[in-house]
Amino acid sequence: MIDNNGFELLAIDKEYILELENLPFIHKAPFDRLLVATALSEKMHIVTVDANIQKYSVSCIW
């Protein structure tokens, strides 16, 4: 399914961790904070209705 839809798997990069360390502590879920840090580092959008994720300066779609 990943290959057929043009998705790419990303490894956890040091750059994401550095971005994560600079995020304000808005969201308590570590994985969601990592998603935000990754999206910010990669200039990506996040598809979510999670109000806490939308409080970050990341582009959200929904």
Domain regions of the chain by residue span: 11-61
- The confidence score (pLDDT) of residue 53 equals 98
Could you tell me if 40 and 58 are in contact, meaning their C-beta atoms sit under 8 angstroms apart? yes
pLDDT band at 7 (very low <50, low <70, confident <90, very high): confident
- The confidence score (pLDDT) of residue 13 equals 97
State both tokens at 37.
């840090």
- Long-range pairs for 49-54 at CB < 8 Å and ≥24 separation? 52/26, 52/27, 52/28, 53/27
- The confidence score (pLDDT) of residue 60 equals 97
* DSSP conformation letters of 24-52: -S----HHHHHHHHHHHHHT-EEE---TT
- The confidence score (pLDDT) of residue 1 equals 73
Whole-structure pTM value: 0.88
